Chain A
Amino acid sequence: MASFFDIRARQAAAAATAASSSKQQAPTGADRLQPWVEKYRPKSLDDVTAQDHTVTVLRRTLQSANLPHMLFYGPPGTGKTSTVLALAKQLYGPDLIKTRVLELNASDERGISIVREKVKNFARMQLSNPPAGPAGEEYRKKYTCPPYKIIILDEADSMTQDAQSALRRTMETYSKITRFCLICNYVTRIIDPLASRCSKFRFKSLDEANAGKRLEDIAKLENVKLEDGVVDTLLRCSEGDLRKAITFLQSAARLVGATQPPVHAAAADKKHKRAKIEDDDDEDAMDVDPSTSSADPTRSKEVTVSSIEDIAGVIPPATLSNLIAAMSPGGSKGTTVYGRVAKAVEDLVAEGWSATQIVTQLYEKVVIGDEATGDWQKSRIVLCFSEVDKRLVDGSDEHLTILDLCLQVAGILGER
């Protein structure tokens, strides 16, 4: 086993790996078809955005070759899976990772039988060794290759109680050669005996500066031009979920056709297009000569704020203020509150806006944004929102529920 004293040497080696892996990030033809979320997953712990505390602790364990059982929890899109995958990559390197790491998630059958068989079998399996000879020496210098395997149970909060209980003893019995890493959104759904066997790491929502920087980096690497304020909009729409933000960015880039495919991919694409649609002029024009279009970046379209909002399903402010105007007392003569609100709600529903989105945005406007409404009224309005949210989750009819909400809020607003 590696001694404690050559930490420096190993760090240098790790830095070298990081450098070589960042070279791999340059887009290639096959990569282009990958979702950016996968493509820009952090390759090493140093790449993990934010989560300083967790990363520091893990880096120390990386050097000391000892690792506790771990429980990662936090809201979606904060880098839980990415962190553990990056850790595994740094620990074992490309050759060993297949035999040393087992990743199970909710899309795999994970009942009690699987825990008893698959997990247990993997847990008690003999450790695989790095290649022998001078190549192995080299390999060992780069990667720690600690003497244990890692079992990653992703989305562990969707495992049944029984399956979780079955893990308890397994975790202890094979602790010499196996470490578990549980990943979940809600730590309360992990049964206590499991939670107490792990050291817990809380992943907090990403702060805007870090997430914004990451988004800008990705945009730069992908040659996507961003309008001013796009990054802010992305962060606002994604509510701290970096995966969501990256997906939005990729979708927006696809829609405006801002990505510039590499030459060989473009050539292959062109054949398809010829056969298909002819009125695709501007797309074709871009593809015909990619070299000039990349030399002249002003030609590519840029991602705009409105396109991001469109993709995120955000209701445009004009539509929303229309609804608020209908709900507020007064208004033009000859119309009643009911008539105006019913019309506005009917339009909203017909336009296909999602009810939860309406509720969220209305809440922001009415409760948080409105200074004129008194506290007593607001507290009652909040009650309405709570009731409606519950109903929507239960699957009530959206049209009726939203109409009810708007009328009740209008009634309360009308009292002042």
Chain B
Amino acid sequence: MALLVDKHRPRTLDTLTYHPDLSDRLRSLAASGDFPHLLIYGPSGAGKKTRITATLRALYGPGVEKIKIDSRVFQTSSNRKLEFNIVSSNYHLEITPSDVGNYDRVVVQDLLKEVAQTQQVDLAAKQRFKVVVINEADHLTRDAQAALRRTMEKYSPNLRLILLANSTSNIIAPIRSRCLLVRVAAPTEEEIAVVLAKVGRKEGYKGCEPLEQRIAKESGRNLRRALLMFEAVHAQNDNVTEKTPIPPPDWEALIEVIAKEIIEERSPARILQARAKLYDLLTHCIPATTILKTLTFKLMPKIDDAIKAEIVKWSAFYEHRIRMGSKVIFHLEAFVAKFMRIYEGHLTGMDMDWDD
């Protein structure tokens, strides 16, 4: 059984519920016959992918939805073989180059050139060009991005790129200047509530407006998350009411526990306890950045305003360290220790030397 998220995903531009302006634009782009390279960015769960699928459909018709998965083998200059999965239809390809880590340049160069140099075979196709969708474009290495530059200009008759990214910060300027930037903002809480109500009606759930609004608020403006929560609530309770608790994901509950514990008591023994829990989270593949961020925002309501700025400062500091360093647990623990020290200092009124 498909999840609600997939089952009720809008398939055409007309059925998209929010951002009507954006849908109009995409529609006129698809209809103009003069489709630019696109760089779509926005927070996760905002509907970037859904919009792209719908746009592709507007470009090529329903044929786009017949997809197959190819496994291709690429050879790097050092004779290493790379296995790489490509999702493709007759008209478009979808790749996630960050799968192959540092070798993404090889994939980008080889694959795109191959696509770019072959013309559209299907004579009935509506467009002369093929579309290549690149997921997680902000994780492409600099080399791979540099390799894209000229390809985008030179082969533009045969090839259009659609880059999907969470933010444009990591995309190099030459690429940005060659694309049409499209920002997909996260839906507002009201918009999420409307979507939830609509999906609920389709599924035959009993509507309960306050609950839907609570879910929308909890989801942090992430529609995918909201829908998953909505499904979970309905799967666990036959009859939902206003007060039905929304079960938080396990990992969030665990982080909540950590936050509570390190505020209660600040001692080396507690750090040890926290470490066990942090390891638990890491072994369950929760990204370190997510742990640190969630922990920070769970701590915020529990502490005094005076030290909030300080905590955020160190949180950002250690988050940067996580990115740069190699062993994440060090930095997570360091943050816990730092927090305890600042909090203790604030409680006892002692002005410790923080700015080291």
Whether A and B are associated in the same complex: the answer reads yes
CA distance A9 to B45 in the complex (A): 66
A250 at the binding interface (Cβ < 8 Å): yes
A298 at the binding interface (Cβ < 8 Å): no
A354 and B167 contact, CB distance less than 8 A: yes
- Select B77's contact among A111, A350, A394, beta carbons within 8 Å: A111
B169 and A277 contact, CB distance less than 8 A: no
Cβ–Cβ < 8 Å partners of B150 in chain A: 105-108, 154-155
The secondary-structure label for the interface of chain A is helix
B149 and A105 contact, CB distance less than 8 A: yes
Cβ–Cβ < 8 Å partners of A277 in chain B: 13-14, 27, 31, 58
- The chain A residue sitting closest to B315, CB to CB, is A400
Cβ–Cβ < 8 Å partners of A273 in chain B: 31
A283 and B28 contact, CB distance less than 8 A: yes
Q: How far is the CB of B356 from chain A (nearest CB, A)?
A: 15
A336 at the binding interface (Cβ < 8 Å): yes
Cβ–Cβ < 8 Å partners of A111 in chain B: 77
Asked if A410 meets B309 with Cβ closer than 8 Å, knowing A352-B42, A404-B316, the reply is yes
B169 and A354 contact, CB distance less than 8 A: yes
- Select A107's contact among B32, B154, B317, beta carbons within 8 Å: B154
Q: How far is the CB of B108 from chain A (nearest CB, A)?
A: 9
Asked if A312 meets B156 with Cβ closer than 8 Å, knowing A109-B109, A349-B43, A352-B43, the reply is no
B147 and A107 contact, CB distance less than 8 A: yes
B186 and A392 contact, CB distance less than 8 A: no
B90 at the binding interface (Cβ < 8 Å): no
A351 and B36 contact, CB distance less than 8 A: no
A155 and B42 contact, CB distance less than 8 A: no
Cβ–Cβ < 8 Å partners of B109 in chain A: 107-109
A350 and B186 contact, CB distance less than 8 A: yes
The number of residues on chain B lying at the interface, defined by a beta carbon within 8 Å of a beta carbon of chain A, is: 68
B153 and A37 contact, CB distance less than 8 A: yes
A400 and B312 contact, CB distance less than 8 A: yes
Q: How far is the CB of B32 from chain A (nearest CB, A)?
A: 6
How does the 8 Å CB contact mask read for A368-412 relative to B, with 1 for contact and 0 for none?
000000000000000000000001111111111101100110110
CA distance A154 to B156 in the complex (A): 18
CA distance A250 to B156 in the complex (A): 15
Cβ–Cβ < 8 Å partners of B157 in chain A: 33-34
- The chain B residue sitting closest to A310, CB to CB, is B183
Segment of B195-203, B253-261, B318-326, B346-354 in the binding face: B318-326
B293 at the binding interface (Cβ < 8 Å): yes
Cβ–Cβ < 8 Å partners of A37 in chain B: 153, 178
A35 and B36 contact, CB distance less than 8 A: yes
- The chain A residue sitting closest to B57, CB to CB, is A276
Q: How far is the CB of A83 from chain B (nearest CB, A)?
A: 16
CA distance A273 to B300 in the complex (A): 53
CA distance A279 to B14 in the complex (A): 9
Cβ–Cβ < 8 Å partners of A356 in chain B: 168-169
B123 at the binding interface (Cβ < 8 Å): no
B41 and A401 contact, CB distance less than 8 A: no
- Select A407's contact among B167, B170, B312, beta carbons within 8 Å: B312
Q: How far is the CB of A158 from chain B (nearest CB, A)?
A: 5
B86 at the binding interface (Cβ < 8 Å): no
Cβ–Cβ < 8 Å partners of B61 in chain A: 275-276
A257 at the binding interface (Cβ < 8 Å): yes
B185 at the binding interface (Cβ < 8 Å): yes
Cβ–Cβ < 8 Å partners of A401 in chain B: 316, 319-320
- The chain A residue sitting closest to B108, CB to CB, is A107
Asked if A76 meets B174 with Cβ closer than 8 Å, knowing A33-B157, A313-B183, A394-B324, the reply is yes
B302 at the binding interface (Cβ < 8 Å): no
B282 at the binding interface (Cβ < 8 Å): no
CA distance A411 to B312 in the complex (A): 12
A107 and B324 contact, CB distance less than 8 A: no
Cβ–Cβ < 8 Å partners of B176 in chain A: 244
CA distance A109 to B110 in the complex (A): 9
CA distance A106 to B172 in the complex (A): 14
Most A CB contacts (10 A, CB to CB) among B27, B32, B42, B289 go to: B32
Q: How far is the CB of A176 from chain B (nearest CB, A)?
A: 29
How does the 8 Å CB contact mask read for A256-294 relative to B, with 1 for contact and 0 for none?
010101000100110011011101100100000000000
A15 at the binding interface (Cβ < 8 Å): no
Asked if A394 meets B27 with Cβ closer than 8 Å, knowing A106-B149, A158-B146, A269-B33, the reply is no
Cβ–Cβ < 8 Å partners of A350 in chain B: 43, 185-186, 220-221
Q: How far is the CB of A316 from chain B (nearest CB, A)?
A: 12
A353 at the binding interface (Cβ < 8 Å): yes
Cβ–Cβ < 8 Å partners of A313 in chain B: 168, 181, 183
CA distance A107 to B316 in the complex (A): 36
B329 at the binding interface (Cβ < 8 Å): no
Cβ–Cβ < 8 Å partners of A77 in chain B: 177
A32 at the binding interface (Cβ < 8 Å): yes
Give 11 A-B contacts (CB < 8 Å), ordered by A residue: A35-B36, A107-B113, A154-B150, A247-B178, A247-B179, A261-B33, A342-B300, A349-B43, A350-B185, A394-B324, A403-B316
Q: Across the A-B interface, give the 7 residue pairs with the lowest CB-CB distance, nearest first.
A: A404-B316, A352-B42, A244-B177, A407-B309, A354-B168, A107-B150, A350-B186
Identify the A interface with B (CB < 8 A): 32-35, 37-38, 76-77, 105-109, 111, 154-155, 158, 238, 241, 243-244, 247, 250-251, 254-255, 257, 259, 261, 265, 268-269, 272-273, 275-277, 279-280, 283, 311-313, 336-339, 342, 349-357, 391-401, 403-404, 407-408, 410-411
Beyond the given A338-B305, A350-B220, could you list 10 further A-B residue pairs with CB under 8 A, ordered by the A residue number? A35-B153, A107-B151, A109-B109, A277-B13, A277-B14, A339-B305, A352-B42, A354-B169, A398-B167, A403-B316
